[in-house]
Amino acid sequence: MKVLLIVIDGMAFHIVEKIRHKLPTVNGLIEKGFFGKLESVFPSLTPIALASLVTGNSPKLNGVTAPKVFMKNKPLSNELSAYTSEPLKTDPIWVYLGKNGYKVLVTSSPQALPDRWKVEGTTLLDPYKSKMKKCSDAKVLTEGENKVLGKIWLVEKTSANKFYVSYPSPSSEKTLEIENNQWSSPILVRGKCGKEEFNGVTLLHAREKDIYLAPIAFDNKKWGNDLNLLEKVWNDVSLVHGMMMDGDHISLHRDMINFEEYVETVKKTFNFFMNYTKYLLDNVKWDFALTYLPVVDNVQHLLYGIEDEKASEYVFQSYLMADEFIKMQLDYADLVIVVSDHGVEKIKKKVFVNKLLERINVLSINEKDEIDWSKTKAYYGGGGQIRINLKGREEKGVVSLKEFPKLVRYIVRNLENLTDGNDKVFTSIYASESPAPDREGDIKIGGIREFYGISSIVRKDMEVIETIIPYKNNSGEHGYFRKNDLYGVIIAKYRQSELKRPETIQQARIIDVAPTILKLFGINNIKMEGRPIIKLLEAYESSHRIF
């Protein structure tokens, strides 16, 4: 039997319930298979939820408790990232399947790499690791010389509607002609990131006065555990279709692109994942595969909280993209399971916790908008966790054990007193009188007021609370509300078995998916917090003769 687990980031149960009859593939699966609400974990943030999905265990047990995982003897400036395999304390599903002789393909998962397990027959990829910090940022190229990744790009405007762009490529300098409002095909470039030079792939969009250079993805050999396969994917997919992996909301926030350009980056993200996923399903041998699509989450973050028809239509279009993504994969497996990691809620304002910490003089920012860790006593790393920069626990800690309880009370008091109008912003705050262990915050934000999002971003030129600007700032959030943001979907159908009427899956949790899949493959001796979803097992037992 071949099993395919399709992860649609952010596909919300309450939205699917409302629009499923307009989604032909999704509705067809529901009508002839299984459908239910899938409860995420808290906080319901993507890397935390997906760690629970692939391990069958809650964050406390699997170790991925926040986007940045605090550990003893590490500086707060260099915590473990939830977007790597390093924080995992329990093994993911592909380890058990691989050790039992099954071939596994993971096209994208936050904890897939680095490959700590090196189990034969497991093919692990994560294209997001082709992006390199500070080197993959989008840029605006103006007429004349532009320095990109230590190299000179020359832009010449020859008429009102045409540019010539000379840029460094691996073999020699290349020149591209591009007209106003035109998007280029993917271009292969060469540049320096840190002390090393890499090949990269990017896209250009010509505007009236300048050129948008899209985020660069690198051929850095770090986004897969099979170098031969990586080379093929790079040549056959990345250089052909580009490698846009998210709608470029960062450039939109920074006024580097307009909304229409943002929409185009979403479409190019969808195009990449469609072609990338199909290529891998076709060219890798697998019994179990996990695939991923980010565009629903991308669009919902930006537009879900905007109450007009235009925004609603774009959100709907992202669900149609997901529907097409699912349709493309249906014939590859005997059992297709579609899941999402969380849902979404509307927000109207954003709360910047680290800005509050700076205002109360426990976090310091220098003139470059960088945190000065030598003067920082506490830091919010996301996931609701504030960590004290404690001597003897944090490398380069500055707070003494004697000062610790007083500082915690001071921060808690300021969090509790943070109001907007007459209402308090945070609905629950937890603190300890003694220093927290690994992977935990000394202060935990357990909830936030309705219509308020929370962020770890900090700059000098910002307020603690800012109002969302429609079509520029994110208006949809998830993680802390325990409402519609907590519930994704689970949809499942056996290819050669059609139910007489739709079956509802009750009380399914994201941690129940991994043990269900292991059970389907006859692996029963793995201890997980999750429990197999009985209805899917019963359906297999009644129809397994066809396999």
Map out the domains of the chain as residue ranges. 3-131+245-344+484-546, 139-213, 348-477
Three-state DSSP class for 406?
A: helix
Sign of CA dihedral 274, 277, 282, 286: negative
Q: What is the mean predicted confidence (pLDDT) over 48-70?
A: 98
What is the strand order of the sheet 139-141 is part of?
139-141, 211-213, 204-206
Closest listed residue to residue 298, CA positions, set 267, 272, 325: 267
Q: Is the peptide bond before 92 cis (omega within 30 degrees of 0)?
A: no
Q: Is residue 95 over pLDDT 80? A: yes
Q: What is the pLDDT of the chain when averaged over all its residues?
A: 96
Element (H, E) at 82: none
Residue with tokens 């260099």: 78
Residue 110 DSSP class: T
Q: Which residues pair with 280 in a beta bridge?
A: none
Looking at residue 546, what is its pLDDT? 37
Per-residue pLDDT tens digits for 365-395: 999 999 999 999 999 999 999 999 999 999 9
Query: What tens digit of pLDDT does each residue of 262-298 get?
Result: 999 999 999 999 999 999 999 999 999 999 999 999 9
Q: What are phi and psi of 500, to 5 degrees?
A: -65, -30
- Taking only Cα atoms into account, the Rg of the chain, rounded to an integer number of angstroms, comes to 24
The tokens for 95 are: 């380890």
| pLDDT tens-place string over residues 352-365 | 999 999 999 999 99
Say whether pLDDT at 419 is over 80. yes
Q: Give tens-digit pLDDT for 293-342.
A: 999 999 999 999 999 999 999 999 999 999 999 999 999 999 999 999 99
**Quick one: fold of 3-131+245-344+484-546?**
Alkaline Phosphatase, subunit A (3.40.720)
Running DSSP on this structure, what letter comes out for residue 62?
H
Q: What is the pLDDT of residue 547?
A: 37
Residues 218-239 pLDDT 10s = 999 999 999 999 999 999 999 9
Cα→Cα distances 23→4, 221, 322, 342, Å: 20, 37, 9, 19
Half-sphere exposure of 22 (CA within 13 A, CB side): 13
